[in-house]
Structure 1
Amino acid sequence: MSFHIPEHLKGLTDEEVQHSHQKFGFNQLKQIEKSSWLKLLLNILREPMLILLIIIAVIYLAVGNYGEALFMLAAIILVSGISFYQDNRSKKALEELEKLNEPLSRVIRNCKIVEIPTHEIAVGDLCITDEGRMINADGKIVHSNDFSVNESSLTGESFSVFKDNSSEDRQVYNGTLTVSGLAVFQVEHIGKETKLGKIGESILSIKEEKSPLQNQIEQFLKYMAIIGFAVFILVCAVNYYHTRNIVDSLLNGLTLAMSILPEEIPVAFTTFMALGAWKLMREGIIIKKSSIVETLGSATVICTDKTGTITENSMHLKAIYDFKTDQVFDEHHFSEKSIAELIQYAMWSSEPVPFDPMEKSLHQVYGETIKDDLRSVFKMFHEYPLGGKPPMMTHLFENEKGERIIAAKGAPEAIIKVCQLTGEEQIKIKTEIETFGKQGYRILGVAKSNFQGNDFPQRQQDIPFEFLGMVVFYDPPKKGINEVFKKFDAAGIKIKVITGDNAQTTKSIALQAEITGISNPVNGDEISHLSEEELMKVVDEKVLFTRMFPEAKLRVINALKRNNEVVVMLGDGVNDGPALKAAHIGVAMGEKGTEIAKAAAAVILTNDDLGKLVTAVAAGRRIYSNIKKAVQYIISIHIPIILTVSLPLFLGWAFPQIFSPVHVIFLELVMGPTCSIVYENEPMEKNAMTQKPRPISETFLTWRELMISIVQGLMITAGVLFIYQLTYRNGGDEDTTRTMVFTTLIFANILLSFANRSFYYTVFESFRNKNNLLIYITLATLIVLMVMLYFDPVSMFFKLTSLNVEQLLTATAAAVISVMWFEIYKLVKRSFNLNEKRI
């Protein structure tokens, strides 16, 4: 919105801003604590795995095994380094998101209008607010133009209040919403000193609710920790019974406890979500809370506004229908004298400083076609804001001579109701409305009044009006929008159009956008009269919802949620706020969206491109799928480690302590990066956007998925223990047996990381999805394994021995059989069309 600064409004200088910040601080409820690298490191050192490593290192030092103690120290540094790297990446990603999520505020400084981050507002600043913007500090109005504000966040009253610099109450408050016009206010209180801030301080102590996925993962980790502790006690007891050696018993117990704890899962979850949100931010999709990324992937219904989301929101004045002459004038004939009055009243019924694209267009046409521009002569002295069902608005102007202009515009149905028209005249107008509506045009009725006196009725609908005609706008669908809706349809996501426009216009635009199932639209009045049960059925069946007002939109969203749908709501206007907040995921337009819409939404599309939502949904599905792959991989590979450590002891085999802590920690060092780095980088599978969304009630891992992971783990265990027995029966000593078992397990781990890239496509098909990190970590693992086998000092430390070609091939064959059976399972499953995988 253009705004010319009055000469007396100069604003603070840079020096005054700095002094104000020093004295009063910044505009935030509390100082955000920056996480230092030392704090991050201390948090990492509290992790159970690190605590176990430290205990083992201390035991080795106590008994004089300095080599093992040094290795544990190196392991502590390496594990901490990996965790620190991942945590730091997550922290930086979240900090970048935080910066983008902060709204900008307009202030006058050094006699110029500038946009600043809201937390930089200083006491004494001159802030500018206009229609649709949130007020971000407490202050006193010093200049205004047709300014009204909704203070329901403080007072609970939903109606708007008109204020100016001469009114008795000229205070504005943080957290309230500008409904109409414009105001400049001088900031008096910021941050926790504002009226809302004093209330908000108590809110800071409330913890953010965790997502269902977070709760499920935490519950899983708790079970594993309990099992780990129980097995630790059991192993210690059994080992001590056999050996009467407390140190060996403790080390064995701690080794098994390490193998049970899946500490990679929480790291993976945090990393996947934070980096997913950060990657989307680079695509122009701002995610306010990283955990919302996962929810995006499960969206089942997208409720979209029409104007500005499906359409361009350009609102070009296309035609004018003059009621007196019963003629339609196209854009080449707007200068005709017979429609001058209609153009004038259409402009007068708009805001003096237009915000809406339609009103901007009306002001422009008025300026181009009317010779005597009276906008500087007549001043608005009374206004009825947009209201009613369907809505209309009325402006009252007066000049110095006391001459008045009373102009109204709104939905044609609303304007017809307030004008004295015969049945025949109404039919004639409705015929024109239908004709324009079929072409996808947006229509507004225009009326004038000769109301005398100052005793204005409370409702604008009670003023007698004279119908002048209609102004007709065309807002074309965005380019490529039909392809966007086709992609949503292919992904099994339903589309609902929820708009304040009429049925004919909405239906026409929906046809052009190639939205299916658009017959028999339902309007807001019908919605308000339906019972909850009836509404749940209607929202399931219908696609187009027209003449919708905020309460009706909210009812539709809530009904869809009761139908167990995961609801995405797209909007850009003030009236979309409640629905955006109520939906599982509110999505606001970044360019043309109002501040209240952005504040209510969880996601902001910076360039208003609905196609970006397809990207966001795809990213959500990719991340959710990859987290599942990582967790299933962790479960599968932990099972053989646990059983290889415990079964030889429990079954009384020849070499009961086949693995020591150094072997287990090496395996953990291989698994950690595979889980949290490699799988995070895994590309989306090609069928991800052709699957139906997963049900909201579905647990993170279904019993079938969990059983697959357990069977994978047991098969690898069978292969590893077969190699144990084969080597021992062929005369292998403890070091040779350990080496064969360890090598087989490493090979199986590598193959498993490739096999679990997809639970649908084979390993060879998955190679088409490039993931260079997987190749690099695999090569690094193989190189380190070769060093462990063939470099004597390292071999001696790990109590391993070199293997000949036959032994390496035997270990490889066992690993291939124990893992690659899963590839046959995938093929059989697909051939019998038994795939029920959900993304």
Structure 2
Amino acid sequence: MNENDATLDRRDAATRHRHDGLSAAEAAHRLAADGPNALPDRTRRGWHVILGDAAREPMFLLLVGAALLYLPLGEPRESAFLLLMVVLMLGMTLYQEGRTERALQALRDLSAPTATVVRDGRRWQVPAADVVRGDVVVLTEGDRVPADAVVVETSGLLADESLLTGESVPVAKRAGLPTAPPVQPGGADLPWVFAGTLVVQGDALAQVAATGARSELGRIGAALGAIRPPSGRLQHDTHTLARRMAVLGLAVSVLLVLLLGWRSGDWLQALLAGVALSMSVLPAEFPVILTVFPAIGAWRLARDRVLTRRLAAIEVLGSTSVLCVDKTGTLTENRMALRRLWHAGAGHDMVAGAPLAPALRELLDVAVRASRPQSHDPIEEALRQAQAAQAAVPAHEPGHMVREYGLTANRPAMIRIWSDGDVSFAAAKGAPETIAALCPENQRTLAHAAAADMARAGLRVLAVAEARGIAPPWPDDPATLHYNLLGLVALADPLRADIPDAVAECRRAGVRVLMVTGDHPETAAAIARQAGLADSAIVTGPDIARLDTERLATRLEGVSVCARILPGQKLAIVQALQHRGAVVAMTGDGVNDAPALRAADVGVAMGRRGTDVAREAAELTLLDDRFPSLVLALRAGRRIFSNMRKSMRYVAAAHVPITVLALLPPLLGWPVLLYPPHIVFLELVIDPACSLAFENEPEEPDLMRRPPRPPDESVLDRRALLAALLRGLWAAALLAACYGWALARLPVRQAAATAFAALILCNLGLLLSHRQRGLLAALRTVNAVFVAIAAGALGLLAAALWWPPLAELFRFAPPPGRWLALALLTAVAMLLGLQATRAAGPGR
């Protein structure tokens, strides 16, 4: 141990017995000394990595090869121009990839885990990377342990250490001394918890002993960092298409070189024409589209309080057909307030400032005793606030809690045993049917009727009972105690004001909304009616328990509410819906929701009240826990997918006339029109258009009035690809006719300038026609990036035609004005033809 570590240990010893943690100054000092509590991030790409990857792309290799070929031809200007274009395109790549990387980094920062630490005697939530050796961290159910630590206080802590051990069974933890020697992960009844493991039950205080690379997780971090998630179907299909087009282009280019070299004997010029053809066919834009659109789209969503943890979810959002949403906190405000008490057959409305009768105060007191004192559950917070507002002496002496029985799948109730040394009693609260089943039969009938009445009014109802005169040893099963039903407490959680509009928007979009809640069926039905969900049959948890997947799928048809659902039953609901072909998004916030979130096509976790386990199992996190934010994400997913499809169709269509004009003139014996400099010019238009212009394209007016797209529909399927190729062939036919007409009547350089001007205008026309459904809609829709690209392309074209150095480089001579009018007429004819066939054409 070095001197610095010994000093830290002495400072730790001064804080251990109090558990009030380090001071903020000491924590800052240790963070500077030890570094952040994080593993090296291998997913980040610096500028040198981006440039290195770009320089290995086939397009850049072809450009460099063409630049070198111009040197033996005695044309250094062309070589210098191409090398300058290499630098310019690398700069464009650096900008586009850098923007994408900045968006991804913003997402990483938002999704970075946090930890609750005790510093200066107060609890603070800090980024997990700021946790330091000696910190006292607070662990609760659903948390991910931020660092290796020794447990100093615990209440029933269970940890899932399968990440480190492979053992899926959670292990219990006990309190130990902060000086306890570290042990290997795994094994029950040990005082150590380890970074990256999950708290599945209970809570604890733990003192950090190792952070970052010094933790147990850090020792295997290199292996974890090397793991890369598999690519989605969209990436796989698109890369396959790009490879096929590249192979086809290379084969045709080789044939062209052989033909021209055999015909003319000038193999260098033939090789340049072949390079130009390869560049014209190579779909280098597809990887850009696949990278830029999801990343920038996810960044835009993050600004709207929706965090995308996995970019592949963007692809799925557009096809989501069922939204399974929680009621509390998602559809409602998660702002509980006690509204009504029921005792001995009579109901009592809560009135602000009015004191309660002794029996009602006892009912409220026992309900609070059956709650965790530090819980952030809105129901338990509302009960504590109502008790505090009474300013009355509790019905029981304080005592201390000696045993707790938490909620389980079979017993949705919280039971806590209290003792002052002489007298002990059990306080219980939970679902009315569960608590009533623990009490004498003669107390049940009236309680059930009262609970149903209050539930029909949209209130959340809990029953409260106590068992008096008990003594240790405490039973393993609390149902063996003898309870007395004290009454019911009813709380109100109002519907969010924006829910009906959001539900109506889903209905117009053909997306079904299914409420999944643990509430009483009557309560759930009342909220569903207020939200505008279809008034239909209700499926309950007991119903689901009796049905297999096939029968449950049939039962769920037409259902809008699932009530009295246990967390584990969410998984059955997801699987049943998927069994019938639905694409399901499921919301959740608890540890037990993780399997359903993982199984859903899009798992959606809550950012405010959700556990770390739920957030890490989900693809999306609603940072504000609001259902309209989920609808906004659905809309954004549709827009992103739609614009990706438009961009890929444009790229496929735009490459056709370029390829034809690079291949056809040599085959017909005409002068070669397109050399590498011309292809570079065109790429300067296509590259920013496919990524920036289409990514910035506003959504179409009917986007949320269309049904969800089929889940197996590709972004560029055969039908859409065929449509794009036919549009490109239509443009190519007009351009070939324009070039042939000009060659018959003008000198070669003027004819080439006329055809190239027509090619640029047709390219802009293809860009315009793919932006929206219909030419008029595209002209009415404002897209500043498209305007900038069009203006830049026309400016560069003017320079290539009339600025002598650039005109000489492109082998152009300024054509007469009427021939430029012919170039414009060619583009107009192309647009009119596309517009005439759009309504009936495939893939429109």
> Is the TM-score greater than 0.5?
yes
The match for 1:434 is 452
Which one of 240, 253, 260 corresponds to residue 219 of structure 1? Answer: 240
CA distance in 1, matches of 2:452, 2:348: 14
| Offset at residue 112 of structure 1 (A) | 4.1
Q: Which amino acid aligns with 1:436?
A: M
Structure 2 SS opposite 1:389: coil
Which one of 782, 786, 795 corresponds to residue 807 of structure 2? Answer: 795
The match for 2:624 is 607
Alignment of 1:705-724 (within 5 A): 705-724=720-739
Which one of 690, 694, 700 corresponds to residue 675 of structure 1? Answer: 690
The match for 1:523 is 540
Q: Which amino acid aligns with 1:122?
A: V
| Offset at residue 337 of structure 1 (A) | 1.6
Q: Is the CA contact 1:134–1:178 (under 8 Å) kept in the aligned structure 2?
A: yes
CA distance in 1, matches of 2:287, 2:458: 51
| Offset at residue 458 of structure 1 (A) | 2.2
CA distance in 2, matches of 1:206, 1:33: 10
Q: Which amino acid aligns with 1:778?
A: A
CA distance in 2, matches of 1:419, 1:313: 30
Which one of 729, 734, 757 corresponds to residue 748 of structure 2? Answer: 734
CA distance in 1, matches of 2:221, 2:423: 48
Asked if 1:653 corresponds to 2:669, the answer is yes
After TM superposition, the structure 1 stretch with the greater mean CA deviation from structure 2, 387-396 or 255-264, is: 387-396
Q: Is the CA contact 1:147–1:164 (under 8 Å) kept in the aligned structure 2?
A: no
Which one of 711, 723, 743 corresponds to residue 757 of structure 2? Answer: 743
Asked if 1:511 corresponds to 2:513, the answer is no
Q: TM-score, normalised by structure 1?
A: 0.92
The match for 2:824 is 812
Alignment of 1:613-652 (within 5 A): 613-650=630-667, 652=668
Q: Which amino acid aligns with 1:666?
A: F
CA distance in 1, matches of 2:390, 2:249: 82
| Offset at residue 582 of structure 1 (A) | 2.1
Q: Is the CA contact 1:787–1:794 (under 8 Å) kept in the aligned structure 2?
A: yes
Task: Specify whether residues 681 and 168 from structure 1 end up closer, same or farther in structure 2 by C-alpha distance, changes over 3 A only.
Answer: closer
Asked if 1:774 corresponds to 2:789, the answer is no
Structure 2 SS opposite 1:62: coil
1:167-208: CA deviations, max 9, x gaps?
Answer: 964333334444566432101233455455556654433321
Alignment of 1:480-519 (within 5 A): 480-516=498-534, 518-519=535-536
The match for 1:63 is 73
| Offset at residue 464 of structure 1 (A) | 2.5
CA distance in 2, matches of 1:452, 1:615: 54
Asked if 1:420 corresponds to 2:440, the answer is yes
Task: Specify whether residues 204 and 33 from structure 1 end up closer, same or farther in structure 2 by C-alpha distance, changes over 3 A only.
Answer: closer
- Count of matched residue pairs: 817
Q: Is the CA contact 1:550–1:578 (under 8 Å) kept in the aligned structure 2?
A: no
Alignment of 1:271-350 (within 5 A): 271-322=292-343, 324-331=344-351, 335-350=356-371
Gaps of 5+ in 2: 1-14, 178-187
CA distance in 2, matches of 1:402, 1:161: 30
1:300-322: CA deviations, max 9, x gaps?
Answer: 11110111101111111111111
| Offset at residue 18 of structure 1 (A) | 5.6
| Offset at residue 732 of structure 1 (A) | 2.5
Q: Which amino acid aligns with 1:822?
A: L
Task: Specify whether residues 707 and 505 from structure 1 end up closer, same or farther in structure 2 by C-alpha distance, changes over 3 A only.
Answer: same
Task: Specify whether residues 68 and 303 from structure 1 end up closer, same or farther in structure 2 by C-alpha distance, changes over 3 A only.
Answer: same
The match for 1:468 is 486
1:71-92: CA deviations, max 9, x gaps?
Answer: 1011111211111110110011
Q: Which amino acid aligns with 1:127?
A: V
Which one of 102, 106, 112 corresponds to residue 112 of structure 2? Answer: 102
Which one of 408, 414, 422 corresponds to residue 402 of structure 1? Answer: 422
1:110-154: CA deviations, max 9, x gaps?
Answer: 44433221122122111122344332222122345x453343646
Q: Which amino acid aligns with 2:426?
A: I
The match for 2:595 is 578
The match for 1:534 is 551
Alignment of 1:124-135 (within 5 A): 124-135=134-145
Gaps of 5+ in 1: none
| Offset at residue 219 of structure 1 (A) | 0.9
The match for 1:267 is 288
Q: Which amino acid aligns with 2:437?
A: K
Q: Is the CA contact 2:117–2:136 (under 8 Å) kept in the aligned structure 1?
A: yes
After TM superposition, the structure 1 stretch with the greater mean CA deviation from structure 2, 470-479 or 552-561, is: 552-561
1:811-831: CA deviations, max 9, x gaps?
Answer: 2112211232122233x44xx
CA distance in 2, matches of 1:258, 1:579: 47
Asked if 1:448 corresponds to 2:463, the answer is no
CA distance in 1, matches of 2:504, 2:229: 36
The match for 1:248 is 269
Q: Which amino acid aligns with 1:797?
A: L
Task: Specify whether residues 487 and 33 from structure 1 end up closer, same or farther in structure 2 by C-alpha distance, changes over 3 A only.
Answer: closer
CA distance in 2, matches of 1:643, 1:502: 68
After TM superposition, the structure 1 stretch with the greater mean CA deviation from structure 2, 669-678 or 605-614, is: 605-614
Q: CA RMSD in A?
A: 2.5
CA distance in 1, matches of 2:31, 2:117: 15
Q: Which amino acid aligns with 1:468?
A: L
After TM superposition, the structure 1 stretch with the greater mean CA deviation from structure 2, 147-156 or 313-322, is: 147-156
Which one of 147, 150, 153 corresponds to residue 137 of structure 1? Answer: 147
The match for 1:725 is 740
Structure 1 SS opposite 2:684: helix
CA distance in 2, matches of 1:232, 1:117: 55
Q: Is the CA contact 2:340–2:489 (under 8 Å) kept in the aligned structure 1?
A: yes
Task: Specify whether residues 168 and 605 from structure 1 end up closer, same or farther in structure 2 by C-alpha distance, changes over 3 A only.
Answer: closer
Q: Is the CA contact 1:390–1:547 (under 8 Å) kept in the aligned structure 2?
A: no
Structure 1 SS opposite 2:72: helix
Q: Is the CA contact 1:345–1:446 (under 8 Å) kept in the aligned structure 2?
A: yes
The match for 1:87 is 97
After TM superposition, the structure 1 stretch with the greater mean CA deviation from structure 2, 164-173 or 183-192, is: 164-173
Structure 1 SS opposite 2:123: strand
CA distance in 2, matches of 1:463, 1:150: 29
| Offset at residue 476 of structure 1 (A) | 0.9
CA distance in 1, matches of 2:484, 2:171: 27
The match for 2:185 is none
Q: Is the CA contact 2:549–2:579 (under 8 Å) kept in the aligned structure 1?
A: no
Q: Is the CA contact 2:146–2:195 (under 8 Å) kept in the aligned structure 1?
A: yes
CA distance in 2, matches of 1:337, 1:205: 65
Structure 1 SS opposite 2:407: strand
Task: Specify whether residues 162 and 464 from structure 1 end up closer, same or farther in structure 2 by C-alpha distance, changes over 3 A only.
Answer: farther
CA distance in 2, matches of 1:835, 1:343: 67
After TM superposition, the structure 1 stretch with the greater mean CA deviation from structure 2, 31-40 or 135-144, is: 31-40
CA distance in 2, matches of 1:724, 1:283: 50
| Offset at residue 583 of structure 1 (A) | 1.6
Structure 1 SS opposite 2:771: coil
Structure 2 SS opposite 1:550: coil
CA distance in 2, matches of 1:168, 1:271: 49
Structure 2 SS opposite 1:386: coil
The match for 2:612 is 595
| Offset at residue 800 of structure 1 (A) | 1.0
Asked if 1:698 corresponds to 2:713, the answer is yes
Q: Kindly, what percent of the aligned residue pairs are identical?
A: 30
CA distance in 2, matches of 1:361, 1:240: 86
Which one of 32, 50, 56 corresponds to residue 46 of structure 1? Answer: 56
CA distance in 1, matches of 2:96, 2:317: 23
Q: Is the CA contact 2:147–2:208 (under 8 Å) kept in the aligned structure 1?
A: yes
CA distance in 2, matches of 1:38, 1:21: 29
| Offset at residue 410 of structure 1 (A) | 0.8
| Offset at residue 366 of structure 1 (A) | 2.4
The match for 2:231 is 210
The match for 2:3 is none
